[in-house]
Amino acid sequence: MRRLIEAQPPGERPRLYVTVSVLHNPTGASLGLHAAHQVLQLAQEHGFHIVEDDTYSHLAPAHSPRLAALDALERTVYVSGFSKILTPNWRVGFLAAPPALIDRLIDTKLLSTLTTPGLTELALAHCLEQGALRRHAERVLQRLDAARSRTVRLAEAHGCRFAAEPRGLFGWVDAGVDTERLAHAMIDDWLLAPGSLFHAEPRPTRLMRVNFATSQDARFWKALAATRDGL
């Protein structure tokens, strides 16, 4: 990252870095303390801000480090919400930012969306006050842990391996062949998310994303193995 920044002409160096530092989509990886410290050092040295998108915060392992916490919101804008743990239609989120940016962010919000979803905000407030969100998140995590364990066993039993430690909702799987070709070969029966979808410039890759909640069917992994072996 340092080489990439310093390779740019001084007038074209980045002013903003957007990251999903915990349970990255699609890999499921999280930023370690050492890497987080390096990112914050670069932000300080080169004068850019960081937007930390913590969309999957409720699915993350306890005590996962956040850039915003380490930085004390000096150069970090922290963004999160509740649609991934409650329901996608509840588009209620929040952010925390350095004091110098707050007024500008509020103005931008009001100019772009004008109002807020009052009814869903009240419903969310009720869930928070009554402890319903916490209890619901605990149940979801239990079910997700079970789904992840089953998916990992099936994937490994059918010759796949994980390129990053399986955590959270998504897994980054090495299928052993070009997953774009694999996806086309299986499209009549199964829908895959080949790794090429997640590159800025599509290129062949053996990696693909799996959703642990929807990849527990042994028939899928058997079909994948058979198709892969026939390519």
Q: Is 68 a member of any domain?
A: yes
Q: Give 90's pLDDT tier (boundaries 50, 70, 90).
A: confident
The pLDDT of residue 214 is 95
Residue 146: what pLDDT?
A: 97
Domain co-membership, 106 together with 22: yes
Q: At what angle do helices 218-230 and 179-186 cross, to 10 degrees?
A: 110
**Which residues, at least 6 apart from 144, have a Cβ–Cβ distance to it below 8 Å?**
59, 168, 169, 212, 213
Q: What is the pLDDT of residue 176?
A: 96
On whether both 101 and 192 belong to a single domain, the answer is: no
CATH number at 99 reads 3.40.640.10
**175 and 93: one domain?**
no
pLDDT of residue 128: 93
**C-alpha closest to that of 225 among 155, 172, 162:** 155
Q: Which pLDDT belongs to residue 16? A: 94
Domain edge (last residue) among 93, 114, 135: 114
11 in the same domain as 110: yes
Instruction: Answer yes or no: is pLDDT of 112 > 90.
Output: no
Chain centroid to Cα 150, Å, comes to: 21
Q: What is the predicted pLDDT for the residue at 130? A: 94
- Residue 13 domain boundaries: 2-114
pLDDT, residue 116, reads: 78
If asked whether residues 110 and 154 sit together in one domain, one would say no
- Total domains in the chain come to 2
Position 66 pLDDT exceeds 80: yes
Q: Is the pLDDT of residue 91 over 90?
A: no
| Residue 156 and residue 108 share a domain | no
pLDDT over threshold 90, residue 97? yes
Q: What is the C-alpha to C-alpha distance for residues 114 and 143, in angstroms, rounded to an integer?
A: 38
Is residue 92 domain-shared with residue 17, that is, in the same domain? yes
Q: Please check the confidence at residue 114 and state whether its pLDDT lies above 80.
A: no
The phi and psi torsions of 130 (rounded to 5 degrees) equal -90, 0
Do the domain assignments include residue 12?
yes
**17 lies in a domain?**
yes
103 shares a domain with 11: yes
Q: Phi and psi of 95, rounded to 5°?
A: -145, 155
Give 155-164 pLDDT, tens digit per residue. 999 999 999 9
Question: Is 139 among the domain residues?
Answer: no
Q: Does the pLDDT at position 115 exceed 80?
A: no
How much is the mean pLDDT over the chain? 93
Domain stops at, among 64, 88, 114 = 114
- Any idea what the CATH number is for the domain that residue 193 is in? 3.90.1150.10
Give the whole-angstrom CA distance, residue 157 versus residue 166.
15
- Residue 11 falls inside a structural domain: yes
The per-residue pLDDT for 113 is 81
Q: Is the pTM of this model over 0.85?
A: yes
Residue spans of beta strands (DSSP E) within the chain: 16-19, 49-53, 76-81, 93-96, 161-162, 170-174, 193-194, 207-211
User: Would you say residue 207 lies in a domain?
Assistant: yes
Tell me the mean pLDDT in the region 169-184.
Answer: 97
Domain membership flag for residue 29 = yes
Q: Taking residues 110-138, what's their average pLDDT? A: 90
Rounded to an integer, the average pLDDT of 76-93 is 90
Give the helix, strand, coil percentages of the chain, each rounded to 5.
50, 15, 40
In a domain, 195, yes or no: yes
What pLDDT does residue 65 have? 92
